[in-house]
Structure 1
Amino acid sequence: MAMDEVGDTDLDVDSGGDSSRRSGKQKKVSLSFRDRFQAGEEDDEEFVITRASSVQKTDRFEAGPTPEEKEARRRKKQEAARIKQLQAERQVFIPSSVTVARLAGILGLKWSRLQIRMAQLGMTEEQRRSDYMLTEEEAVNVALEFGFDPKIDDEAFFDIIPQPDTPDVIYPLRPPIVTIMGHVDHGKTTLLDSLRNTAVAAGEAGGITQHIGAFSVNLSDLQGGTVTPGQETTITFLDTPGHAAFTEMRARGATVTDIVVLVVAADDGVMPQTREVLNLVKEAGDDVGLVVAINKVDKSSVDVEKIKSGLGAEGIHLEEDGGDVPSVRVSGLTRLGLDNLVETLSTLAELRELRARNDGQAEGYVLESNKDIGKGNIATVLVTKGTLRVGSYIVAGTTFCRVRTMINDQGQNLDLAGPGTPVQVTGWRELPEAGDQLLESVNGEHEAKRAIANRIAAQEQQKMLSDIEVINVKRQEDRLRHELETEEEKAIKLAGGNLVLHRIEQARRATVLARENQIKELRLIIKGDVSGTVEAVEGALSGIGNKEAVVKIVSTGVGAVTESDLAMAEASEGLIIGFNVDCPRPVQQLAKQLNVPIHLETVIYRLIETVRAKTAALLPPAIEYRTNGEALVQQVFEITLKKKQKAYIAGCKVSQGSIKRGSLARVFRGPDRQLVFEGEIETLKHLKKDVDEIRKGTECGVGLANFKDLKEGDEIVAVTKVEVPRTL
């Protein structure tokens, strides 16, 4: 349990809101932990991972133990539990064959750290590649080197894995993947916009640019229509926050970027983020090429020599001065030098001979994801190997997708996408995360679901172990702090009631004003162990929210939670956040009476996640449409009803799920799936018979209430409208 909640229970400070529910949950976690890792251990050792209040203290029933004996027994139990936990945490389950990148994830290690140890073991550079498939013996030996107790379990660790490349096969050239990076305000966005507009201008008249997180530029558009024979004809640019995209991919053991364009403003020079980019490129080694783009050369205050000197100090020497790093002088504003930049990128890509197989299992990475009211869950993915097709099943992170549609950066619907192609994919069950690796499940939906179930189980196990560690550390700190009353609490008591009453009245007035402004506020009283901690927590939480709901810091203080904090929270209708502090039992009991929630935490990111979730809970829910069935209109019939009234029936064939009479339907039209109607399915017929439901593969007649504009080719989607909690 990452977050302790006090104030609605009379249990120990670690207990949660609903004591019976939380207790049951903790018991389940405890049993799972014991059964999986230490079957047969004594039950009295469970106190390490359950609430202190639920421990069976059998010592009190023994005849006449001395205090020394009690203390010795307590220490013995603690040591046994500590050893048990350490043994369990070092045990890992790995499959009989696993890639280097996946093994790093299983062991919870950084890919770079794993590579260093593998090199020390004498493994070759080829064996240390992220996609290299390790044998069972190799994987076990590496795990043992890090002190783990590896167990081979293929069924528990079944997963979709990348298809290994065939040795000695020369695959076709693929487009280079380019990320533009640099210091803030050095012109990265302007340069990207100029490159993107080039691609749009060269396309068909009336083309609409789709901002999907990446875009492709055809070399002939910038090189007078000529391309060198044997040269790849397009370049793919990542249109995402460069630093975040680059570092996230590197952290997951994959280098999606082939070339980094380092943008340096000619009127500014080498700055902190410039150095950060250079460090990232150096860390990537030979996997990533570098091109320096000296931007804003159209300005009068240009000092190129200053830039060269600054780059030289970082170990970067340009080709024009005898170095090995190509450079181009450009202006994103006037488009000066854009053709030279693209030509330089093309030449560098040609020298690197970037190749990938274009058949077999599709692989790629998620660049970004979002929800769309009309299209559902959407993710922009970059295909790196194989060919992704509409109808394929793919997995990414802990979710999967049957590819419903693929749209490129020009807004065109694609049936297939090859290496280097960025596309927007619809059909996801849940939203994947940016940086997740995408893999095609070539054997269909069953294996995709099986792999996702194992991934989720592994995440839950890791979270359980992490929570156990937090709980044990928290208990140790609580026992130490409970013996002392903080100086802050003493000072508050000695100061009398006037100051406290004044602060409480201020909180009440602020609460009334917030109600009048119609802005939802999550009001917090923050307590921390030291002033530096309080400032850090306040800074981390104060920026959470949006225009509809915000975090409001009512007061802050150092020391344990006190009764005056409860009074402040009650007056402001807020909650108390305690970071690395204790909450005495009398204060807990009073909090229960006042119905004031108290949250104690020791891990900052978990605190942020919880506050973010509670702030989001203040937002009105979002409306989500969940698809029950889909049907394509093949023909529209006009029929005459009683009293010579006319109605229109669509002759359809159900392609997915099922359609029921009386359910809500949405009608989409055209390749861009424009929503043209939303209403009730009034009539549902099979042949000439009225029916309540039509399933996949069956032809039927569909009539919609108050809609007479059905056309051939329209898509009727039967949906259920649900309210979904919003997130920030």
Structure 2
Amino acid sequence: MIKVGMDAEASYDHLLSSEYASLLAMEFGRNPVINDEAAFDIYPPPAHPDPSSLPPRPPVVTIMGHVDHGKTTLLDTLRSTSVAKGEAGGITQHIGAFSVPVPASGGGSETRTITFLDTPGHAAFSAMRARGAGVTDIVVLVVAADDGIMPQTQEVIDLVKKENVGVVVAINKIDKPGVDVSKVEHALMAADVQLETFGGDIPAVQVSGLTGQGLDQLVETLSALAEMQDLRAEREGTLHGYVLESRVQKGLGPVATVLILRGCLKSSDHIIAGLTHAKTRAMTDSNGQAVKEAYPGMAVTVPGWKELPNAGDEVLKGTESEVKKALANRIRKAEMEATLSDMETINEQRRHEREQREMEAEMEAAGIEKPEPHAGEQESPKELRLIIKGDVSGSVEAVAGALQGIGNNIARVKIIATGVGDVTESDIMRAKTAEAGAVVAFSVAVPRLVQNEAAKQQVPVLMSSIIYRLMDDVKERVIALLPPIIERRVTGEANVLQLFDIHLKAKKIMKVAGCRVSNGVVDRAKLARVVRNGEIVHEGRLGTLKHLKKDITEATKGLECGMAFENYDDLREGDLIQVYQEIEKPGIL
């Protein structure tokens, strides 16, 4: 038997990975040579030696900006459709790609195609917006004239500075009364966006997505900028593209939206993306029309994937045998990396445990007692474990990223599984087995039978198509894991004016403080404390509250009374007695 991992052994007929086989060979003093055939993969094509000889391709324009600044409405007007109405809350929840014919710059009857990427505007989709910028030629930064620079606006500004892309500013909602465009322009300049108006190189166009005002000028500006970039790409040969989004579609199974950057995607092509593959069959364009060929700058919907690809995966083409061979090696490599990662985690855990034991042994030998943990201290944070299901892979990724960041070192979110498609009974049982705090259903259905099973298993299902509502719901559940905050609210105060000795039976003497209530109501049933020179010297309960030798339950402002504490008789003249109640409030993240 030979060891192949921390806890695994291989017999004589066990197949070893190339990595383990190499390590084994080196143990016996041999220099291993890995067969390139076993490590076969498909890679993006190299840059063309003469780009100027290639045919022109449509520019890819990404619309970016702060939430609710009118990005999707702007695109709606350009393509004469209404996507915003179909989106939850009017906010785009995942990347959409649309090819729009527009007049070429310089006028005339000629037209050119511009492919627009409509990326989400919510902060939680930062990663998806960044992916959109990675495949784009021009970014249209939409800024609302009635709102100005907002957090996501600044985020996009910082993003495009890192990318070699053209930028056009669209100052939107100029049709609203009372807007001051110059104020927005100055704010952009202050954010280091060098506008042409002030001698810079970034054009700014005033538009209204609602009325269409200024859109002709925006299109002309985009066309001119695209012509200046002289965008070209091979229309034949090796394919290179990216998955913009993926989802499970009823009747079609796993479906992906693919943006072509180079080459041509044809029907019956074998393609690979990440750890899955497909044979293209019924491709459709952004208008739902069937197409047999897709060229650079086009976004097409491709069904037929064996598994869902991830948003952002590179799409490459090969023969059937090449794709299958590359896929097998990719899966093998991914499994190996996961195994090595698990081994590293185990080794790190064992090293930590060993060091802990050694430290405890040294402390015991030195006669040092192991310190007790402080009150409220815990070794690891509490976790709200979640399973996330969504409509498309890009949305699932973004939702997971947004929810993963909720919490602190006391309580936090942990994503234990994600998937695309409707919530199933298997998801509920998995959540029950893994002791998950909830199943998150983002823009997907939860059938009645599944809801009944969830209720039976007492597994909460959080359903919404608006991500920030999910974030609020999850945040409330994480807060519930935090220790509550105990707020002490003073309801009455009394000043000690004089001390008296009262003789009781069996020759006992009780010290009673003669007091006057200065604020609120002193309630004998509530907690009380003694404040001396600004410091609390005692906390407890009142054992005596009298007025004119008569026992009372409460004393109001201005009333003189006698007070004595249970098990405390060190009251002094000038002390302040405060009566308070403890109010339990949720913790704060």
TM-score bin (small chain): 0.5 to 0.7
Residue identity matched to 2:75: L
Unaligned runs of 5+ in 2: 84-93, 361-368, 392-407, 431-460, 464-589
Map of 2:416 onto structure 1: 609
Tell whether 2:176 aligns with 1:326: no
Map of 1:266 onto structure 2: 145
Residue identity matched to 2:23: F
Map of 2:41 onto structure 1: 159
Q: 1:194 aligns with which of 77, 89, 103?
A: 77
Tell whether 2:23 aligns with 1:37: yes
Q: 2:379 aligns with which of 529, 550, 569?
A: 529
Q: 1:277 aligns with which of 124, 139, 156?
A: 156
Query: Aligned to 2:415, what secondary structure does the other structure show?
Result: helix
Query: Aligned to 1:377, what secondary structure does the other structure show?
Result: strand
How large is the Cα RMSD of the aligned pairs?
4.2
Deviation of residue 198 (structure 1)?
Answer: 5.8
TM-superposition CA deviations, 1:121-180 (whole Å, max 9, x none) = xxxxxxxxxxxxxxxxxxxxxxxxxxxxxx875223211122334422511111100111
TM-superposition CA deviations, 1:537-561 (whole Å, max 9, x none) = 44xx4695799xxxxxxxxxxxxxx
Q: 2:98 aligns with which of 215, 219, 239?
A: 215
Structure with greater helix share of residues:
1
CA contact (8 A) 2:258 2:299 kept: yes
Q: 1:401 aligns with which of 278, 284, 298?
A: 278
TM-superposition CA deviations, 1:623-658 (whole Å, max 9, x none) = xxxxxxxxxxxxxxxxxxxxxxxxxxxxxxxxxxxx
TM-superposition CA deviations, 1:364-388 (whole Å, max 9, x none) = 1111111122011111101111111
Q: 2:324 aligns with which of 424, 449, 464?
A: 449
TM-superposition CA deviations, 1:561-605 (whole Å, max 9, x none) = xxxxxxxxxxxxxxxxxx999xxxxxxxxxxxxxxxxxxxxxx99
Distance 1:166 1:199, change over 3 A: farther
Deviation of residue 348 (structure 1)?
Answer: 0.5
Deviation of residue 422 (structure 1)?
Answer: 0.7
Query: Aligned to 1:391, what secondary structure does the other structure show?
Result: coil
Deviation of residue 309 (structure 1)?
Answer: 2.2
CA contact (8 A) 1:179 1:259 kept: yes
Question: Residues of 2 paired with 1:330 and 1:580: CA distance?
Answer: 46
Distance 1:335 1:378, change over 3 A: same
Q: 2:343 aligns with which of 468, 484, 492?
A: 468
Tell whether 2:257 aligns with 1:380: yes
Deviation of residue 249 (structure 1)?
Answer: 6.2
CA contact (8 A) 2:95 2:120 kept: no
CA contact (8 A) 1:199 1:217 kept: no
Residue identity matched to 1:154: D
Deviation of residue 193 (structure 1)?
Answer: 2.5
Deviation of residue 195 (structure 1)?
Answer: 2.4
Question: Residues of 1 paired with 2:199 and 2:375: CA distance?
Answer: 69
Map of 1:432 onto structure 2: 309
| Aligned 1:319-398 pairs, distance under 5 A | 319-398=196-275
Question: Residues of 1 paired with 2:390 and 2:57: CA distance?
Answer: 42
TM-superposition CA deviations, 1:651-672 (whole Å, max 9, x none) = xxxxxxxxxxxxxxxxxxxxxx
CA contact (8 A) 1:177 1:259 kept: yes
Deviation of residue 34 (structure 1)?
Answer: 4.8
Comparing 309-318 with 238-247, greater Cα deviation is found at 238-247
Question: Residues of 2 paired with 1:355 and 1:431: CA distance?
Answer: 30
Question: Residues of 2 paired with 1:272 and 1:248: CA distance?
Answer: 19
Query: Aligned to 1:233, what secondary structure does the other structure show?
Result: strand
Question: Residues of 1 paired with 2:268 and 2:214: CA distance?
Answer: 42
CA contact (8 A) 2:386 2:415 kept: no
Structure with greater strand share of residues:
2
Question: Residues of 1 paired with 2:193 and 2:314: CA distance?
Answer: 32
Q: Percent identity?
A: 49
Map of 1:137 onto structure 2: none
Question: Residues of 2 paired with 1:431 and 1:410: CA distance?
Answer: 22
Deviation of residue 407 (structure 1)?
Answer: 0.6
Deviation of residue 31 (structure 1)?
Answer: 7.5
Question: Residues of 2 paired with 1:25 and 1:213: CA distance?
Answer: 46
- Please report the TM-score for the alignment, with normalisation by the length of structure 2: 0.57
Q: 2:428 aligns with which of 594, 619, 642?
A: 619
CA contact (8 A) 2:386 2:416 kept: no
Q: 1:181 aligns with which of 60, 64, 78?
A: 64
Residue identity matched to 1:529: E
Distance 1:323 1:406, change over 3 A: same
Deviation of residue 609 (structure 1)?
Answer: 2.7
Deviation of residue 217 (structure 1)?
Answer: 0.9
Question: Residues of 2 paired with 1:379 and 1:167: CA distance?
Answer: 31
CA contact (8 A) 2:387 2:418 kept: no
Map of 1:458 onto structure 2: 333
Query: Aligned to 1:156, what secondary structure does the other structure show?
Result: helix
Distance 1:164 1:227, change over 3 A: farther
| Aligned 1:5-20 pairs, distance under 5 A | none
Deviation of residue 314 (structure 1)?
Answer: 2.4
Residue identity matched to 2:379: D
Query: Aligned to 1:306, what secondary structure does the other structure show?
Result: helix
| Aligned 1:643-682 pairs, distance under 5 A | none
Larger Rg: 2
Residue identity matched to 1:265: A
Map of 1:56 onto structure 2: none
Distance 1:153 1:259, change over 3 A: farther
CA contact (8 A) 1:308 1:317 kept: no
Deviation of residue 41 (structure 1)?
Answer: 4.7
Question: Residues of 2 paired with 1:298 and 1:291: CA distance?
Answer: 20
Question: Residues of 1 paired with 2:302 and 2:99: CA distance?
Answer: 17
CA contact (8 A) 1:34 1:41 kept: no
Question: Residues of 2 paired with 1:406 and 1:414: CA distance?
Answer: 6
CA contact (8 A) 1:172 1:358 kept: yes
Query: Aligned to 1:365, what secondary structure does the other structure show?
Result: strand
Question: Residues of 2 paired with 1:308 and 1:580: CA distance?
Answer: 42
CA contact (8 A) 1:199 1:216 kept: no
Question: Residues of 2 paired with 1:167 and 1:156: CA distance?
Answer: 30
CA contact (8 A) 2:64 2:156 kept: yes
Question: Residues of 1 paired with 2:425 and 2:371: CA distance?
Answer: 34
Map of 1:477 onto structure 2: 352
Residue identity matched to 1:474: Q
CA contact (8 A) 1:156 1:454 kept: yes
Unaligned runs of 5+ in 1: 1-22, 43-90, 94-150, 201-210, 493-526, 548-578, 582-603, 622-725
Residue identity matched to 1:402: K
Deviation of residue 478 (structure 1)?
Answer: 3.3
| Aligned 1:307-322 pairs, distance under 5 A | 307-322=184-199
Question: Residues of 2 paired with 1:237 and 1:319: CA distance?
Answer: 23
CA contact (8 A) 1:198 1:217 kept: no
Query: Aligned to 2:416, what secondary structure does the other structure show?
Result: helix
Q: 2:116 aligns with which of 220, 237, 246?
A: 237
Residue identity matched to 1:180: I
Question: Residues of 1 paired with 2:285 and 2:250: CA distance?
Answer: 19
Distance 1:227 1:620, change over 3 A: farther
Query: Aligned to 1:263, what secondary structure does the other structure show?
Result: strand
